[in-house]
A and B are shown apart, each in its own frame.
Chain A
Amino acid sequence: MLAVDMAGETVRAMNGSMVAYDGEMTFKRQGMTGGEGLRGALRRRVAGESMTLMEVTGQGTVYFASEATEVTLVELAGDTLLVESDSLLALDGRLQTGVQFIGLRGMGTGQGLATTKVEGQGTVAILSDGPAIALEVAPGTPLCVDPHAYVAHRGQLQQDVVTDVNWRTVLGQGSGESVQFRYQGHGLVYVQPAERGGILEI
């Protein structure tokens, strides 16, 4: 659960995630464009990366939660965080969101072709099944991640898919770890200690 102390600022949070508050709060559902402008909304529609956020403004403390999952706070200082819209609980009102096309790597893990991009200065609260583990990627030490355990990543990272699909996989004799994301460059990757079910059993 996430508690936010507010003194007149604005926070954006997942629709319906408020569980309690004290003080004076106003909740406003964001319109069609979700604060991303008409072009942003169009991109989001095309990408199928739906996200419904509400704007919360007021004085006091507001509590957010979703499905009793763990919350991790990520501080952004002008850099970019890429996160699935399902895993985004709340963010600072000053931060900007958008859609990032990521290509085929999202297929098969039920994540679609696009992901949500958060950038600017402020704090983002992300959700994970079990406490998220932050893993550093530095030049020379690439990191491989199971697509089902991936939560978010930030920094200057190149992402590619490593496949080890061969005739054994087709016969059902595969290693069960045939598809992985590999991150190279400089940044942080967040993983969760649980694997969500994908469309494909790979």
Chain B
Amino acid sequence: MTSTTFNAATLPANDNVNPYAFSVDLNGQWFTQKGKMIAYYGQIRFQALSAGPLDMLVAESFHSPLYAHDWIVAEGQGKLLLADRGFDINSYDLDKGNLTIRAANLLAFEPGLELKQSIIPGFLTLIGTGRFVAASNGPVHFVEPPIRVDPQALLGWADCPSPCHHYDHGYVRGVLGAARMMFGVGGTSGEEHQFDFTGEGTVLIQSSEHVTSSDAMLRELEGQIGMLGVPGLRQLHGTIAQRLAAEQQH
């Protein structure tokens, strides 16, 4: 396969170069996730969110201290190429809307959008008007609720209420079910747990159950420890010790 060549003028403006790379026509500021830039033309600076001059922008558009460490601001003029481990890349436009997306899959967004943490751990919500870029393992499918989705295949959702957990009845029923719950043994299909969506809106699913790893989940848990108090912390300490002992036996 011989590829076509691009230069600063022929690179698409805010569109895909190929299914795996996206070209941003930067003229101002964009939020991007760390390490997703592969190349750029022009004068572009990359700054951590903690950089002083960005205070106003961060205060307006980035409401998630938990993820601030993973994000930077690209500032300047030029063409910026983004890619993520050879995943499929898509861009979406929001018009006074809201959309929630798996944090590790969000690559970049315009400052016209506001970023907030979702109630569901590991997801981020974008509110407002503007464009954002997201990665998925395999093509994205858009479906309408009511629908139940495998947690690993869920990429995000727009306009509908947050999902709730759904467990298959057979899994919780009877002695065997109780044993499974307690010891995690017994034959399971691995499909007992889903996210249940209802209401009006759109649900985005990717075509694989490959979840991009991120340490954001851990940080999210750490962030919630503060709500426990001393008795809760003691109990958690015991649980973790038990769990660690069990893991080390394997």
Contact in complex: A193, B18 (CB < 8 Å): yes
Contact in complex: B3, A133 (CB < 8 Å): yes
Contact in complex: B38, A192 (CB < 8 Å): yes
Interface residues of A in 59-76 (CB under 8 A from B): 70-75
Contacts A72-B3, A176-B34 given; does A141 touch B17 at CB 8 Å:
no
With both beta carbons as reference points, the residue of chain A lying nearest to B22 in the complex is identified as A193
With both beta carbons as reference points, the residue of chain A lying nearest to B38 in the complex is identified as A149
In the assembled complex, how far is the CB of residue B55 from the closest CB belonging to chain A, in whole angstroms? 14
Binds B, one of A48-56, A99-107, A124-132: A124-132
Contact in complex: B48, A173 (CB < 8 Å): yes
Contact of B211 with A by CB under 8 A: no
In the assembled complex, how far is the CB of residue B105 from the closest CB belonging to chain A, in whole angstroms? 15
The contact string, 1 if C-beta is below 8 Å from chain A, for chain B 215-240, is 00000000000000000000000000
Bound Cα distance A134, B5 (Å): 5
Contact in complex: A136, B38 (CB < 8 Å): no
From the candidates A129, A131, A177, name the one contacting B35 in the complex (CB within 8 A).
Answer: A177
Hey, which chain B residues are within 8 Å of A133, CB to CB? 3, 6, 17-18, 21, 39, 81
Contact in complex: B50, A173 (CB < 8 Å): yes
Contact in complex: B3, A132 (CB < 8 Å): yes
Q: Chain B's interface: helix, strand, loop or mixed, by majority? A: strand
Hey, which chain A residues are within 8 Å of B81, CB to CB? 133, 191
The contact string, 1 if C-beta is below 8 Å from chain A, for chain B 86-103, is 100100000000000000
Bound Cα distance A178, B5 (Å): 26
Contact of B40 with A by CB under 8 A: yes
Bound Cα distance A176, B82 (Å): 14
In the assembled complex, how far is the CB of residue A33 from the closest CB belonging to chain B, in whole angstroms? 31
From the candidates A70, A137, A175, name the one contacting B34 in the complex (CB within 8 A).
Answer: A175
Hey, which chain A residues are within 8 Å of B45, CB to CB? 164
Contact in complex: B6, A168 (CB < 8 Å): no
Hey, which chain A residues are within 8 Å of B37, CB to CB? 146, 177
Interface residues of B in 1-32 (CB under 8 A from A): 1-8, 11, 17-18, 20-21
Q: Can you list 27 pairs linking A and B with CB atoms under 8 Å apart?
A: A72-B1, A72-B3, A129-B85, A129-B86, A134-B4, A135-B11, A135-B41, A136-B7, A138-B7, A143-B40, A143-B41, A149-B38, A168-B50, A172-B69, A174-B48, A175-B72, A176-B35, A177-B46, A178-B46, A191-B38, A192-B38, A193-B18, A193-B86, A194-B85, A195-B35, A195-B83, A195-B85
Q: What is the interface of chain B, defined by CB distance below 8 A to chain A?
A: 1-8, 11, 17-18, 20-21, 34-35, 37-41, 44-48, 50-51, 69, 72, 81, 83-86, 89
- Since A134-B5, A177-B34 are in contact, a sample of 20 more A-B pairs with Cβ atoms closer than 8 Å, ordered by chain A residue number, is A74-B2, A75-B2, A129-B85, A132-B3, A133-B3, A133-B6, A137-B7, A144-B44, A145-B39, A175-B47, A175-B48, A177-B46, A191-B39, A191-B81, A192-B86, A193-B20, A193-B83, A193-B84, A194-B86, A195-B83
